[in-house]
A and B are shown apart, each in its own frame.
Chain A
Amino acid sequence: GENVEQHPSTLSVQEGDSAVIKCTYSDSASNYFPWYKQELGKRPQLIIDIRSNVGEKKDQRIAVTLNKTAKHFSLHITETQPEDSAVYFCAAINTGTASKLTFGTGTRLQVTL
């Protein structure tokens, strides 16, 4: 089955700086990679996703890149703000055969003033 590793487990950045979270996956057939944000006491929410036919996707201050050859994908947050503080989860799935997303272990991002 799929295995997703996520790094770092914790990340502290100053407001205005950029943050990068990296994930690697094991199943080369995986073709869909979403990212979820979970604020304290709340549910995980989808913030951005990318399909395997695309190398990069951007939505305002958030971007995701995918390297299929190396089997890794990354979340980039620019101009970080205090409200970006949360736990971020990456995930992967082969939509043709798998029945569920495989999640990474999460990254706790702290944006300090």
Chain B
Amino acid sequence: ETGVTQTPRHLVMGMTNKKSLKCEQHLGHNAMYWYKQSAKKPLELMFVYNFKEQTENNSVPSRFSPECPNSSHLFLHLHTLQPEDSALYLCASSLPGQGYGYTFGSGTRLTVV
């Protein structure tokens, strides 16, 4: 593992389900990110958190709800998703404002049926 752990690795959910993705890092980083990766948009930034505060929401639909209870944990709560939301969801962390040591988790492969 890289120091950034994502669970689950795979998730299949119906459009009416509610599920959550989890990201955890033990690298001492204070910035965490959610990315969506699909064939159409290789690395699409969704949310940025610095010191637990959301600093960027890249016009993400409200059916995606992030939560950052502390600098080591990041969640993405999912509800009433659409099939086009099927993608690989990647979490990353770094030292804020640095870009150095930008480390990705292995991702959650989400399939919405």
Contact = CB atoms under 8 A, between A and B. Distances in A.
Interface of A: 32, 34, 36, 42-46, 49, 87, 89, 91, 93, 95-101, 103, 105-106
B99 interface: yes
Residue among A45, A87, A100 with most chain B CB within 10 A: A100
Contact of A99 (B2, B50, B103, B106): B50
Contacts, number: 58
Nearest to A102: B45
Taking residues whose C-beta sits less than 8 angstroms from the other chain, chain B's interface range is 20 to 34
Contacts of B94: 101
Interface of B: 2, 31, 33, 42-43, 45, 48, 50, 55-56, 90, 94, 96-100, 102-107
Contacts of A99: 31, 48, 50, 55-56, 96-97
A96 B96 CA distance: 10
Contacts of B104: 36, 43-45
20 contacts: A34-B99, A36-B104, A43-B105, A43-B107, A45-B2, A45-B104, A46-B102, A91-B99, A91-B102, A95-B99, A95-B100, A97-B97, A99-B50, A100-B31, A101-B94, A101-B102, A103-B42, A105-B43, A106-B42, A106-B43
